[in-house]
Amino acid sequence: MPVNAVPVKAARDPATPVYDHAAAVLRGFYDRRISSPPVLDPTAHFRGHARFEGGAQAMRDEALHIARELGSVPRFHELMPQQASISNQDARDWRMLVVKAYGVTVKANARRCPVLARHAAADPDVLSAAYSFLAPGKKVPEHRGPFRGVLRYYLGLCVPPDAIGRPGTVLTIAGTEHRIANGKALLWDDTYVHAVRNDTLQVRIALLLDVRRRGMPRELEILSRIIIAAAGLAVRIRRVA
């Protein structure tokens, strides 16, 4: 889930420039040591891919049940106010039900989503897990994550078709458009600029995971573990879990 997104262009709260500078420094440190394309093969880079893809129907059913009471699911900027510029900029909702955040289980949401909670708990590489609900016509503007120690996994659960029958939600990564159908997944490096839009008249539901990037140099493995642990501690301090 995009818990650390950085808008490309936006006016934000006074703390944001400090955050943006830190994110740029962190990205630069990783960029000098990691070279990877925007989109990666999930079978090679995420060991849990087959299990999550195989469980798509059960998670779809669970997410559709949650969607019956969509008003009980927080908007993304209600979880992270500093992300209002990508979540609350067009009066259309982007709601997120977070089951796991940086290794910390959100117990109340895990009780609501036992299927997702079970899958997330079974895989130590799954650091964050959430159901994402994108309102009809919603556009999330260009943004990027600061941290290459994780990869983003997107699994289509309920993706309404557009007027000509294609998956009606478009995920643009580094200038390339991707349309992910129901039950299909995409794994990508979210430090590349990306945006998403729902071109349909129905809510789009997807599973978003942050998964541990494997195969990094040893010093980056250590640094990533420290950053993830610190982020998990912050989740606990904020009493999200």
- CA–CA gap between residue 95 and residue 76 (Å, rounded): 5
Q: What is the pLDDT of residue 142?
A: 93
Cα atoms in the 13 Å half-sphere on the side-chain side of 178:
21
Q: What is the pLDDT of residue 216?
A: 87
- State whether residue 166 is helix, strand or coil: coil
Q: What is the pLDDT of residue 163?
A: 94
Q: What is the pLDDT of residue 10?
A: 39
Q: What is the pLDDT of residue 34?
A: 81
Q: What is the pLDDT of residue 2?
A: 47
Q: What is the pLDDT of residue 9?
A: 40
Quote the longest CA-to-CA distance of the chain. 49
Q: What is the pLDDT of residue 42?
A: 97
User: In 10 A of CB 105, how many CB atoms?
Assistant: 17
Output the pTM of the full model: 0.86
Q: What is the pLDDT of residue 88?
A: 74
Q: What is the pLDDT of residue 241?
A: 52
Cα atoms in the 13 Å half-sphere on the side-chain side of 108:
6
- CA–CA gap between residue 82 and residue 50 (Å, rounded): 34
Residue 190's closest CA among 211, 207, 166? Answer: 211
Q: What is the pLDDT of residue 8?
A: 41
Q: What is the pLDDT of residue 207?
A: 98
Q: What is the pLDDT of residue 16?
A: 56
| All structural domains of the chain with their residue ranges | 6-237
Q: What is the pLDDT of residue 14?
A: 47
- CA–CA gap between residue 64 and residue 82 (Å, rounded): 28
Low-confidence residues of the chain: pLDDT under 70:
1-23, 238-241
Q: Which tokens go with 69?
A: 């009471």
Domain 6-237, architecture per CATH: Sandwich (2.60)
Q: What is the pLDDT of residue 78?
A: 79
- State whether residue 214 is helix, strand or coil: coil
Residue 176's closest CA among 192, 161, 160? Answer: 192
Q: What is the pLDDT of residue 147?
A: 83
